[in-house]
């Protein structure tokens, strides 16, 4: 193993659990300004002294500013590390970090405050390698979990040499260290139903049942689900609300669906498959967000070979279905790798966890990929 990788990973791992505990101790659901500012303050305190810190506007209106930390060197390479500090967990359900055997359990541990801790450690390690880069930046955003607006940082990094994103890590089926080089496009569809309310006992047929209209829309979406098809489309109704009283025909309602596919047209086709009227109920589908896919397998082949050499064990590229900000930056930085965070599980669930030992092993992976990015 490259000595810089070995020594740097040991230093990251020595601090990682305490740093993760501090970050997870802050409840920071998307859109919460106070939580985002607390996370930004913790992260700023963990940065190397010589870093330049800026707070560019968040892509989403009404959010706290994002955090951009940049090291300036005398080399030519430009690399950006990417993470997010927001979670999907509401304040009332937030759980601070605690040890449970070989797991560190807590809200946002694996998605993705564990990755943020590793990214901070990598930037500290880079502070001693000024001759190897012109700029090494860390971008931490606070709206990744629920952003409808376009990603506001893409052009800032256009033409940079490498993007390394620190979403959760994983092992390949053969036990090799895996990083993500392919992601699906992701879409969120909302269907608004406009029917007519009526008394469900004395005059039910005077109503136009929004719930039934949305049920038909949900079935139309689900009928498009084809994970083994040419676009690997997953089409899943996820949220349905209609009606507020047991004895009233619901006159209005809303359905939300999550769509993932290899390409944008497959997602847009689901939107067109939703009927516009069912039983006198008007249905209005709307695409709330559409994130691009990521296909960096070819562009990262040499990088992963270099990472394997620096690590002393195999680093391979794998696909993943979930969305990530890496997909936005891959549009302008062909050499983009994701999944550099620690291993864990149950993201977005009460039992979310990071495997404690993986803070060390995945720090090695992250530093090996970083070392390769400096010379590729």
In order along its 376 residues, the chain shows pLDDT tens digits of: 999 999 999 999 999 999 999 999 999 999 999 999 999 999 999 999 999 999 999 999 999 999 999 999 999 999 999 999 999 999 999 999 999 999 999 999 999 999 999 999 999 999 999 999 999 999 999 999 989 899 999 999 999 999 999 999 999 999 999 999 999 999 999 999 999 999 999 999 999 999 999 999 999 999 999 999 999 999 999 999 999 999 999 999 999 999 999 989 999 999 999 999 999 999 999 999 999 999 999 999 999 999 999 999 999 999 998 889 999 999 999 999 999 999 999 999 999 999 999 999 999 999 999 999 999 6
CB contact at 8 A, 43 and 85: yes
pLDDT at position 323, please? Answer: 86
Contacts of 242 (CB under 8 A, 6+ apart): 193, 210, 211, 214, 250, 252, 253, 254
Q: How distant, in Å, are the alpha carbons of 85, 186, 214, 282 from that of 221?
A: 32, 15, 10, 16
pLDDT of residue 146: 87
Q: Which two tokens stand for residue 269?
A: 């086709």
CATH of domain 3-184+293-373: 3.40.630.10
Q: Which fold has domain 185-291?
A: Alpha-Beta Plaits (3.30.70)
Distance CA 238, CA 93 (A): 20
Taking the domains of the chain in order of start, what are their residue ranges?
3-184+293-373, 185-291
CB burial readout 348-357, b (16+ within 10 A) else e: eeeebbbbbe
Task: Give yes or no for a contact between 191 and 257, defined as CB atoms under 8 angstroms apart.
Answer: yes
What pLDDT is attached to residue 322? 80
Closest by CA to 180, choosing from 343, 5, 349, 70, is: 343
């Amino acid at each position: 193993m490259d000595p810089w990788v070995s020594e740097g990973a040991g230093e990251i791992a020595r601090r990682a659990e305490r740093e993760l505990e501090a970050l997870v101790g802050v409840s920071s659901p998307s859109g919460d300004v106070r939580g985002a500012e607390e996370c930004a303050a913790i992260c700023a305190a963990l940065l190397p002294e010589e870093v330049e810190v800026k707070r560019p506007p968040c892509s989403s209106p009404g959010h706290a500013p994002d955090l951009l930390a940049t090291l300036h060197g005398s080399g030519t390479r430009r690399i950006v590390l990417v993470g997010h500090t927001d979670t999907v967990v509401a304040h009332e359900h937030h759980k601070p970090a605690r040890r449970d055997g070989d797991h560190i359990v807590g809200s946002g541990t694996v998605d993705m405050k564990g990755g943020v801790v590793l990214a901070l450690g990598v930037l500290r390690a880079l502070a001693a390698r000024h001759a190897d880069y012109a700029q090494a930046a860390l971008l931490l955003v606070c709206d990744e979990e629920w952003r409808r607006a376009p990603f506001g940082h893409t052009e800032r990094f256009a033409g940079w040499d490498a993007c390394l994103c620190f979403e959760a890590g994983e092992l390949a089926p053969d036990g090799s260290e895996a990083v993500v080089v392919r992601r699906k496009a992701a879409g969120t569809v909302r269907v608004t139903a406009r029917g007519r309310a009526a008394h469900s006992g004395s005059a039910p047929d005077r109503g136009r049942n929004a719930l039934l209209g949305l049920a038909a829309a949900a079935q139309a979406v689900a009928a498009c689900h084809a994970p083994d098809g040419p676009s690997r489309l997953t089409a899943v109704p996820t949220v349905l609300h209609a009606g507020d009283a047991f004895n009233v025909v619901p006159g209005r309602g809303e359905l939300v669906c999550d769509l993932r596919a290899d390409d944008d047209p497959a997602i847009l086709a689901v939107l067109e498959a939703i009927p516009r009227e069912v039983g006198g109920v008007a249905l209005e589908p709307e695409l709330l967000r559409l994130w691009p896919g990521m296909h960096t397998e070819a562009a990262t082949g040499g990088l992963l070979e270099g990472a394997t050499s620096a690590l002393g064990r195999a680093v391979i590229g794998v696909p993943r279905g979930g969305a990530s900000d890496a997909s936005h930056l891959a549009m302008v930085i062909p050499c983009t790798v994701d999944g550099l965070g620690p291993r864990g599980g149950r993201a977005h669930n009460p039992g979310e966890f990071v495997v404690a030992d993986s803070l060390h092993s995945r720090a090695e992976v992250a530093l090996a990929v970083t070392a390769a990015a400096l010379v590729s």
